[in-house]
Amino acid sequence: MDISKILKPEAVRVLGSMTSKKRLFQELGEVAASAYGLPAAVAIDGLQERESLGPTGVGHGIALPHARLEGLDRIVGLFFRLEKPMDFDSVDRQPVDLIFTLFAPKDSGVEHLKALALISRTMRDQQVCAKLRANQAPATIYAILTESRPQAAA
């Protein structure tokens, strides 16, 4: 599995700022609808439901919100870079500016976990994050995210 299989170029955005998680999830839902044809309300509800179990801010300015949805036939992703980091209740209490979101079919099980592990590995790479933060163009950010990297255990 590689990121180019789950992330479309049109699902990458650079945004100025977000005022709340609720507003961020609304924006993610709208992009999921336009890029993948997901019903925005279903995407938003899925993200909010998962977030209610515990925050998906994993530290170092990174959040990995994700949800399993009915009616989805494959794993899809979205990536947002925020110019102004926002509070995300992250484990390290640091604001978040890099947000990689995954939507997976309700019954995806292992594939969902593999996709999360791939995204987590990618986002733990400090060089990748530095490049993402240094670029404004969604096409460049997409290229950084999808460039092939050596596979390692999660």
User: Is 87:121 a contact under the CB 8 Å cutoff?
Assistant: no
Residue entry with tokens 């945004």: 15
Count Cβ atoms below 10 Å from residue 143 Cβ, excluding itself.
Answer: 15
Which of 142, 147, 149 has the alpha carbon at shortest distance from 14?
Answer: 142
Among the options 28, 57, 66, 100, which is catalytic?
66
* DSSP assignment of 98-134: EEEEEEEETT-THHHHHHHHHHHHHHH-HHHHHHHHH
User: Is 106:66 a contact under the CB 8 Å cutoff?
Assistant: no
Is residue 66 annotated as part of the catalytic site, yes or no? yes
For residue 63, give the 3-state DSSP assignment. Answer: strand
Active site residues per annotation:
66
